[in-house]
Chains A and B, each alone.
Chain A
Amino acid sequence: DAGVIQSPRHEVTEMGQEVTLRCKPISGHDYLFWYRQTMMRGLELLIYFNNNVPIDDSGMPEDRFSAKMPNASFSTLKIQPSEPRDSAVYFCATSGGPDTADEQFFGPGTRLTVL
Protein backbone atom coordinates (compact mmCIF):
# COMPACT_ATOMS: atom_id res chain seq x y z
CA ASP A 1 0.00 0.00 0.00
CA ALA A 2 1.26 3.50 -0.81
CA GLY A 3 0.17 4.87 2.53
CA VAL A 4 -1.89 8.01 3.03
CA ILE A 5 -1.64 10.26 -0.01
CA GLN A 6 -2.08 14.01 0.24
CA SER A 7 -2.13 16.64 -2.46
CA PRO A 8 -0.86 19.15 -3.12
CA ARG A 9 2.36 18.87 -1.10
CA HIS A 10 2.84 22.61 -1.17
CA GLU A 11 0.33 25.39 -1.75
CA VAL A 12 0.98 29.10 -1.90
CA THR A 13 -2.03 31.33 -2.29
CA GLU A 14 -3.17 34.85 -1.63
CA MET A 15 -5.47 35.95 1.13
CA GLY A 16 -9.10 35.56 0.19
CA GLN A 17 -8.60 32.67 -2.20
CA GLU A 18 -10.21 29.29 -1.79
CA VAL A 19 -7.89 26.43 -0.88
CA THR A 20 -8.74 22.74 -1.22
CA LEU A 21 -6.57 20.06 0.32
CA ARG A 22 -7.02 16.42 -0.66
CA CYS A 23 -6.46 13.11 1.04
CA LYS A 24 -6.61 9.51 -0.11
CA PRO A 25 -6.70 7.15 2.88
CA ILE A 26 -5.16 3.74 3.19
CA SER A 27 -7.54 1.23 1.68
CA GLY A 28 -9.75 -0.38 4.30
CA HIS A 29 -9.17 2.23 6.98
CA ASP A 30 -12.46 3.39 8.48
CA TYR A 31 -11.23 6.44 10.37
CA LEU A 32 -9.88 9.60 8.75
CA PHE A 33 -8.46 12.55 10.68
CA TRP A 34 -7.46 16.06 9.60
CA TYR A 35 -4.78 17.83 11.68
CA ARG A 36 -3.08 21.19 11.51
CA GLN A 37 0.47 21.78 12.74
CA THR A 38 2.04 25.15 13.57
CA MET A 39 5.03 26.15 15.65
CA MET A 40 2.84 28.04 18.07
CA ARG A 41 0.03 25.54 18.61
CA GLY A 42 1.64 22.22 17.72
CA LEU A 43 -0.46 19.45 16.19
CA GLU A 44 -4.20 19.99 16.53
CA LEU A 45 -7.07 17.74 15.50
CA LEU A 46 -9.54 19.59 13.28
CA ILE A 47 -12.12 16.93 12.41
CA TYR A 48 -12.45 13.20 12.06
CA PHE A 49 -14.67 10.81 10.10
CA ASN A 50 -15.77 7.26 10.73
CA ASN A 51 -17.07 5.36 7.70
CA ASN A 52 -17.31 8.65 5.78
CA VAL A 53 -19.47 10.31 8.47
CA PRO A 54 -18.11 13.34 10.38
CA ILE A 55 -17.97 12.42 14.05
CA ASP A 56 -16.32 15.37 15.74
CA ASP A 57 -15.62 18.73 14.12
CA SER A 58 -15.11 20.69 17.33
CA GLY A 59 -11.53 21.44 16.34
CA MET A 60 -12.48 23.24 13.13
CA PRO A 61 -11.43 26.82 13.87
CA GLU A 62 -14.29 28.64 12.18
CA ASP A 63 -16.88 28.55 9.44
CA ARG A 64 -14.26 29.24 6.80
CA PHE A 65 -13.15 25.64 7.21
CA SER A 66 -15.14 22.71 5.90
CA ALA A 67 -14.36 19.04 5.33
CA LYS A 68 -16.06 16.33 3.33
CA MET A 69 -15.63 12.65 2.75
CA PRO A 70 -17.85 11.72 -0.20
CA ASN A 71 -16.58 8.13 -0.28
CA ALA A 72 -14.15 5.80 1.46
CA SER A 73 -11.33 6.74 -0.89
CA PHE A 74 -11.30 10.50 -0.73
CA SER A 75 -11.57 13.45 1.61
CA THR A 76 -11.17 17.19 1.21
CA LEU A 77 -10.48 20.05 3.57
CA LYS A 78 -11.51 23.41 2.20
CA ILE A 79 -10.69 26.90 3.43
CA GLN A 80 -12.75 29.73 1.97
CA PRO A 81 -11.70 32.50 2.18
CA SER A 82 -8.13 31.82 3.26
CA GLU A 83 -6.24 34.11 5.64
CA PRO A 84 -2.51 34.43 6.47
CA ARG A 85 -3.10 32.88 9.91
CA ASP A 86 -4.18 29.67 8.16
CA SER A 87 -0.58 29.11 7.08
CA ALA A 88 0.42 25.74 8.52
CA VAL A 89 1.11 22.14 7.62
CA TYR A 90 -2.09 20.16 7.26
CA PHE A 91 -1.94 16.42 7.84
CA CYS A 92 -4.39 13.72 7.00
CA ALA A 93 -4.19 10.52 9.04
CA THR A 94 -6.13 7.27 8.85
CA SER A 95 -6.72 4.37 11.18
CA GLY A 96 -7.92 0.86 10.63
CA GLY A 97 -10.03 0.75 13.76
CA PRO A 98 -12.13 -0.79 15.22
CA ASP A 99 -11.13 1.26 18.22
CA THR A 100 -10.42 4.95 17.96
CA ALA A 101 -7.26 4.31 19.96
CA ASP A 102 -5.74 2.31 17.13
CA GLU A 103 -2.59 3.52 15.42
CA GLN A 104 -3.02 6.48 13.11
CA PHE A 105 -0.97 6.60 9.93
CA PHE A 106 -0.09 10.08 8.78
CA GLY A 107 0.33 11.37 5.28
CA PRO A 108 3.26 13.58 4.27
CA GLY A 109 1.26 16.76 4.83
CA THR A 110 0.37 19.81 2.77
CA ARG A 111 2.41 22.92 3.54
CA LEU A 112 0.06 25.88 3.07
CA THR A 113 1.27 29.45 2.83
CA VAL A 114 -1.29 32.23 2.61
CA LEU A 115 0.20 35.56 1.61
Chain B
Amino acid sequence: QKEVEQDPGPLSVPEGAIVSLNCTYSNSAFQYFMWYRQYSRKGPELLMYTYSSGNKEDGRFTAQVDKSSKYISLFIRDSQPSDSATYLCAMIWSNTGKLIFGQGTTLQVKP
Protein backbone atom coordinates (compact mmCIF):
# COMPACT_ATOMS: atom_id res chain seq x y z
CA GLN B 1 0.00 0.00 0.00
CA LYS B 2 1.30 3.43 -0.91
CA GLU B 3 1.64 5.97 1.88
CA VAL B 4 -0.43 8.47 -0.09
CA GLU B 5 -3.21 7.47 -2.46
CA GLN B 6 -4.65 9.78 -5.09
CA ASP B 7 -6.90 8.98 -8.02
CA PRO B 8 -4.99 9.95 -11.19
CA GLY B 9 -8.16 10.75 -13.14
CA PRO B 10 -8.34 12.32 -15.63
CA LEU B 11 -11.15 14.54 -14.43
CA SER B 12 -13.01 16.65 -16.97
CA VAL B 13 -15.50 19.34 -15.90
CA PRO B 14 -17.25 22.29 -17.57
CA GLU B 15 -16.16 25.82 -16.81
CA GLY B 16 -17.77 27.12 -13.63
CA ALA B 17 -18.10 23.72 -11.98
CA ILE B 18 -17.01 22.95 -8.44
CA VAL B 19 -14.10 20.53 -8.43
CA SER B 20 -13.25 18.17 -5.60
CA LEU B 21 -9.83 16.51 -5.46
CA ASN B 22 -8.94 14.03 -2.74
CA CYS B 23 -6.14 12.06 -1.17
CA THR B 24 -5.96 9.46 1.55
CA TYR B 25 -2.90 8.58 3.56
CA SER B 26 -1.83 5.84 5.91
CA ASN B 27 0.84 7.40 8.12
CA SER B 28 -0.66 9.23 11.10
CA ALA B 29 2.71 10.96 11.68
CA PHE B 30 2.14 13.32 8.78
CA GLN B 31 1.76 16.85 10.11
CA TYR B 32 1.87 19.16 7.10
CA PHE B 33 -0.40 18.85 4.10
CA MET B 34 0.08 20.58 0.79
CA TRP B 35 -1.39 20.83 -2.65
CA TYR B 36 0.88 21.47 -5.59
CA ARG B 37 -0.25 22.39 -9.07
CA GLN B 38 1.75 21.27 -12.09
CA TYR B 39 1.14 22.60 -15.57
CA SER B 40 2.18 20.51 -18.52
CA ARG B 41 5.98 20.34 -18.90
CA LYS B 42 6.54 22.54 -15.85
CA GLY B 43 7.69 21.93 -12.30
CA PRO B 44 5.13 21.70 -9.49
CA GLU B 45 4.28 24.89 -7.63
CA LEU B 46 2.78 25.20 -4.17
CA LEU B 47 -0.90 26.06 -4.15
CA MET B 48 -2.10 25.49 -0.59
CA TYR B 49 -0.45 24.55 2.72
CA THR B 50 -2.19 23.43 5.90
CA TYR B 51 -0.93 22.19 9.22
CA SER B 52 -3.92 21.10 11.24
CA SER B 53 -7.30 19.60 10.67
CA GLY B 54 -9.98 21.91 9.33
CA ASN B 55 -10.44 24.19 6.34
CA LYS B 56 -8.22 26.81 4.78
CA GLU B 57 -9.50 29.11 2.08
CA ASP B 58 -7.60 31.12 -0.52
CA GLY B 59 -9.73 32.75 -3.17
CA ARG B 60 -11.49 30.07 -5.17
CA PHE B 61 -9.49 27.30 -3.47
CA THR B 62 -10.31 25.54 -0.19
CA ALA B 63 -8.10 22.90 1.39
CA GLN B 64 -9.62 20.55 3.91
CA VAL B 65 -7.83 18.16 6.26
CA ASP B 66 -9.46 15.42 8.32
CA LYS B 67 -6.72 13.77 10.35
CA SER B 68 -9.09 11.36 12.05
CA SER B 69 -10.02 9.88 8.68
CA LYS B 70 -6.56 10.46 7.13
CA TYR B 71 -8.23 12.28 4.27
CA ILE B 72 -7.47 15.60 2.59
CA SER B 73 -9.37 17.48 -0.08
CA LEU B 74 -8.95 20.45 -2.38
CA PHE B 75 -12.04 22.24 -3.64
CA ILE B 76 -11.98 24.62 -6.58
CA ARG B 77 -14.99 26.91 -6.98
CA ASP B 78 -15.99 28.49 -10.28
CA SER B 79 -13.37 26.45 -12.13
CA GLN B 80 -11.65 28.11 -15.09
CA PRO B 81 -9.87 26.67 -18.14
CA SER B 82 -6.66 28.07 -16.65
CA ASP B 83 -7.12 25.63 -13.75
CA SER B 84 -6.43 22.75 -16.15
CA ALA B 85 -3.36 21.08 -14.68
CA THR B 86 -2.25 18.14 -12.58
CA TYR B 87 -2.88 18.57 -8.86
CA LEU B 88 -0.60 16.71 -6.48
CA CYS B 89 -1.25 16.30 -2.80
CA ALA B 90 1.85 16.11 -0.65
CA MET B 91 2.55 15.57 3.00
CA ILE B 92 5.45 15.67 5.37
CA TRP B 93 6.21 15.04 8.98
CA SER B 94 8.43 17.51 10.69
CA ASN B 95 12.21 17.13 10.72
CA THR B 96 12.39 14.41 8.08
CA GLY B 97 12.64 16.60 5.02
CA LYS B 98 10.71 14.05 3.02
CA LEU B 99 7.80 15.36 1.01
CA ILE B 100 5.65 12.37 0.01
CA PHE B 101 3.53 13.03 -3.07
CA GLY B 102 0.34 11.47 -4.30
CA GLN B 103 0.18 10.27 -7.88
CA GLY B 104 -1.49 13.50 -9.00
CA THR B 105 -4.95 14.06 -10.52
CA THR B 106 -5.13 15.52 -14.01
CA LEU B 107 -7.91 18.09 -14.30
CA GLN B 108 -9.32 19.53 -17.51
CA VAL B 109 -11.77 22.42 -17.36
CA LYS B 110 -13.60 22.81 -20.64
CA PRO B 111 -14.80 26.27 -21.78
By a beta-carbon cutoff of 8 Å, the part of chain A in contact with chain B is 4, 31, 33, 42-45, 48, 50, 55-56, 91, 93, 99-101, 103-109
Contact = CB atoms under 8 A, between A and B. Distances in A.
B111 interface: no
The 7 closest A-B pairs by CB, nearest first: A106-B43, A100-B97, A43-B101, A42-B103, A101-B32, A103-B46, A106-B44
Given A50-B97, A56-B97, A103 B104 contact: no
Q: Secondary structure of the A side of the interface?
A: strand
Contacts of A33: 97, 99
Of the listed residues A4, A42, A101, A106, the one surrounded by the most CB atoms of chain B closer than 10 A to its CB is A101
Interface residues of B, number: 22
A42 B104 contact: yes
A31 B102 contact: no
Interface of B: 31-32, 41-46, 49, 88, 92, 94-104
Given A43-B101, A55-B97, A101 B92 contact: yes
Contact of A42 (B45, B94, B96, B101): B101
Contacts of B94: 99-101
Contacts of A91: 43-44
A12 B44 CA distance: 23
Nearest to A56: B97
A55 B104 CA distance: 26
Nearest to B93: A101
A108 B38 CA distance: 10
